[in-house]
A and B are shown apart, each in its own frame.
Chain A
Amino acid sequence: MGRIERLQSSYQSLDESFEIGKEMYRGQQYSQIYFARLHLMRTLLYSLVPLWKPNSPVCTVLGLEEGKECVIVGTLFKHMKLKPCILDEYSKERSVVPLVKPHNFVNQDDYLDLEDESGRVKLGGNIIVPSVYVTGIVVAIYGKETGAGDFLVHEVLEAGLPPQIEFPIKSREDRYVVLVSGISVGSSRSNPLQFQLLVDHITGHLGDEKEQSIASQIVRVVIAGNSVEMPRGLLNGQNLASKDLSRMAEPVKELDILLNQIAAALPLDIMPGPCDPANFALPQQALHRCLFPGSSVYNTFRSCTNPHCFELDGIRFLGTSGQNVDDLDKYSEAKDKLDFMERTLRWRHLAPTAPNTLGCYPYTDRDPFFIESCPHVYFVGNQDKYDTRVIKGSEGQSVRLVCVPKFSETGVAVMLNLRDLECHALSFGTQFSP
């Protein structure tokens, strides 16, 4: 029938560290994950400190001497006046100010503490700007203790970008990965026609031969969260009538049919997001296959965790559905979302605010959000607009950062070329006469 043959790429999932199946919950709280994080990163920083400040000793917090310049390594803790505290709900007198401000809790009075195993010390000085940092990052600080008991910061050392595997220089042909997020099937905002156009374009129904040949170069689709929006009005704590139950399941069924169309054509990865029927705490576990009876029978359908890490043709991808960056946005400031993404890479930690303000599983012996190997592509879903940038590391690492916008609001998906990591937007619109 003269159909074009679709290109294939080799795929390897690296999500094992994000799967919770083997973890045991024994009622533990979060000190252990912090300890694991500190231990992990401190070992790393100790190896970097001699190159950075070869002549300065490394001290513990309790071992600080006034006036002596040294290096201390520990976890940052940011005191924020406006950060909502559960105890406020129980306080006897409530102020007129509402309990929680929805957006940003940064205040000019915020200050940082550095905490290690022995103790904590307040960080002072102008070098370290609290609005850039958040609780949970492990850094090395060079400075000295002042008379007031603060630690005056001269310099800050972050872990930096992790080592990166070499970018495979393979073929000259274009292969594309489509990144999309925030489809929100079932929400009033989303236009199903738009997503259907995306599906038709990717699968090769729409478009002339030239367009279809571009579409045949798409080797994978990655859906980065918020694929479905369950009707919230039904969830009021009471038992659901059967007709309500079927109404609740409608969006997922619709999504299944749409994913069926994609899975029948090319490999598909679907990640859970904040609004999806998955667990709340990071790492979110893969959406259950039973939600997708039609799609999950395909060998191309893959339900993944959030965060999601995989290798495609030797190129390493790392991505989340947005929770890590959105949380950073609440507790710190930056020029744009790409800045937050860059910071997480330089801090070598995907979600430093977990478990402080971001729900997280209480790991006992490891911290899976520690980034061991630098990805080539780092994407974050459910953002307000499409944006992309390349950042460079001190050892020649190069990362393409991608903010994937919410499709239901923008109609924009992202096409990434595996040959050179160039991106372009794939947008859909309907323009009808009013």
Chain B
Amino acid sequence: MSQIETLSLIHEIESLISDQLQVVSYKWLSRNYQISSDEAKRLLHEFVEKHEGGLEVVYALSGWLKSTHRSYHIRLVTGPKLAEAQHDFDGNCSVQVYSVQPSIPKDPAVLWNAEFIQAEELSKQPSSVDNCLRDNRFCGISNTFVRRNVDGQPAVSATPQIKSVVGLGSTKSNVVQPPPKNIAHNSIAKVDLKSQNVVKDFKSESNGTGNAVVHENINKPTAEKEKSLLLPTGKKKVQADKNGSATGGSLASFWGRPSAKPKPCSVPAENSNTISNPSEATENAQTCANEAEADSDDDNQGVPLRRSSNRKRRVVFDLSDEDEDVVNLASPEVPSKQLSQDSRQNDKNLLEKEPLNFDLPVEIKPLVKEERVEKKVFQPPREDLSVITKCTTAGKSSTEKLHSSAPEICVKKDSVKMAAPDSTKRRKVMKTRIDERGREVTDVFWEGEEIEAKKADMVTAKKTDTVAKKADNNGSTNAVNSAPATKKPPATGKGGSKKALNSKDPKQGNLLSFFKKV
């Protein structure tokens, strides 16, 4: 810097301190006047030398400490303490001016405030602007590897190859162009909603980083994330993502909402975030499932929603309706307590979602598989209440009821039981035996139908097991194991015919069969 520039800056610093009583740290100086950090520190040093009184100086000492554990220490000290602090260091420590200010604040964090405000301002600038915060231009170390993607693709890429042959190729697989993950059994809606709320407001608060320009530039990463936070849309979104911005744009116009965030971004991370919740309290599940139903109902009816965030959510629902995910979401979570209210709602939801199933045959494939497995739980229909009643998990008993009231939803792909219409009278016989692996196998067969073998994944003789637990496993592994066990190929095509709508199932089981012993 030329002499004149230096002098003028020094004057400015002086006025800042004395008139505005501001803390001038080297970082703040460097960002404000677009000079490098080293330059700023040098400047401050000169300033300190020229001005003796009326200001306090904070120095940054750094060096190796005299201690047993080898430790590199960096400490901020005020002027008077400088000499004393230097004794703690083993050998030389470097001394640099960190900041100058009119007086030392009680709380050290105050030193940081001014530069943080500056950082905040910089971060709020539109995402396309490359400012000194974003490219780290004023530090002493440069890194050519760093790339910042303005157009919204998650930016993790293959790491640089540094003379080592360590599976660089495989790093590509870890690239966060996320592998489409099946988000079948998805998140509790409430968690989604909650997090949505937070993020929505987050977004609205920060005027920068993409929000401001979201309408123009449809490929904003933030926009994506907003949408992606919403209900799982799984594969469809991923496909859209991969197809690039064009698709995103068309999707946005399709929905015709000005604030619609285009380019749905696949979001396995977020979905998996909430996935573990289902395994926890059923309390949550109840309320959340309720919310899911309520909201989805709202969505489907177009009723103005309570929360602003749901507006966006509605968009996503439309998308997600095309996936089977939501169907799966509803079914297992619905608890037995609220069956009466929920089942009807579920019906409606499932009904409404069902037709949309056909729109994306491509996407449905793996999802349908899950649904098939899912639906296994509904199985043995009407008569087979006794099996299902053994399951004490809330989900199972409810699904059975669900099934009975909405049998049309069961697009049974390999429906051993469903295929046969309800008109035939069948008698159900069940036999339990222990197979060679020590598992309890329950064979269920109908007169005139083939045997369906259900295996419990349970270790039979475990002393800790209670009957209920066994039942749990029976029920839970029904879905797991019956898929391979079934013998009939899918009776209906995946996009094809649904089962005949039966409003009331004549073969609906007798309540007393709940107490029947197997």
Contact = CB atoms under 8 A, between A and B. Distances in A.
B278 interface: yes
B461 A265 contact: no
A31 B457 contact: yes
A62 B60 CA distance: 69
Nearest to A258: B119
Contacts of B199: 249, 290-291
B432 interface: no
A21 B183 contact: yes
Contact of A26 (B26, B221, B377): B377
B201 A279 contact: no
Contacts of B11: none
Interface in B433-480: 438, 457-459, 461-464, 469, 472-473, 475-477, 479-480
Contacts of B116: 192, 196, 254, 257
A26 B164 contact: no
Nearest to B377: A26
A280 B72 contact: no
B138 A205 contact: yes
Interface in A128-148: none
Interface stretch (B266-274, B288-296, B404-412, B418-426): B266-274
Given A11-B171, A192-B112, A279-B274, A215 B141 contact: yes
Contact of A257 (B65, B81, B123): B123
A21 B156 CA distance: 19
B71 A192 contact: no
Interface stretch (A154-162, A371-379, A424-432): A424-432
A35 B146 contact: no
A297 B164 contact: no
Contact of B141 (A4, A21, A311): A4
A303 B269 contact: yes
Nearest to A294: B123
Interface in B351-374: 370, 373-374
B277 interface: yes
A429 B76 contact: yes
A234 B65 CA distance: 42
B259 to A, nearest CB: 16
A143 to B, nearest CB: 20
A200 B27 contact: yes
A345 B16 CA distance: 57
Contacts of B139: 3, 203-205, 265
Contact of A433 (B69, B72, B104, B461): B104
A168 B164 contact: yes
Interface residues of B, number: 131
A115 B160 CA distance: 49
Nearest to A240: B197
A207 interface: yes
B267 A313 contact: no
Interface string B58-79: 1010100100011111111110
Kindly state the interface size class of chain A when it binds its partner: 35 or more
A121 to B, nearest CB: 10
A293 B222 contact: yes
B276 A280 contact: yes
A120 interface: yes
Given A27-B475, A249-B201, A290-B225, A119 B377 contact: no
A290 B198 CA distance: 11
Contacts of B457: 31-32, 35
A245 B181 contact: no
B140 interface: yes
Nearest to A433: B78
Contacts of A21: 181-183, 268, 271-272, 275
A264 B134 contact: yes
B338 interface: no
A294 B112 contact: no
Contacts of B462: 115, 117, 119-120
A309 to B, nearest CB: 11
Nearest to A219: B162
Nearest to A120: B463
A313 B166 contact: yes
Nearest to B76: A430
Contacts of A164: none
Q: Name the residue in A12, A205, A252, A412 with the highest tally of chain B Cβ atoms < 10 Å from its Cβ.
A: A205
A408 interface: no
A12 B198 contact: no
Contacts of B171: 10-13
B81 A431 contact: yes
Q: Name the residue in A214, A248, A287, A297 with the highest tally of chain B Cβ atoms < 10 Å from its Cβ.
A: A297
B109 interface: yes
A426 B267 CA distance: 36
Contacts of A206: 37, 60, 62, 74, 96, 98
B381 interface: no
Among all A-B residue pairs, the 8 with the closest Cβ atoms: A21-B181, A290-B225, A204-B141, A299-B155, A264-B136, A245-B201, A281-B276, A425-B71
Given A246-B201, A249-B202, A361-B275, 15 more contacts: A1-B36, A3-B141, A5-B141, A20-B275, A21-B272, A22-B181, A26-B479, A28-B480, A35-B459, A170-B164, A206-B74, A280-B276, A288-B225, A362-B279, A432-B77
23 contacts: A3-B140, A5-B142, A5-B143, A25-B275, A170-B164, A205-B27, A205-B139, A205-B140, A253-B206, A256-B123, A264-B148, A265-B136, A279-B272, A280-B276, A285-B272, A290-B199, A299-B145, A299-B147, A300-B145, A302-B156, A364-B480, A424-B69, A432-B58
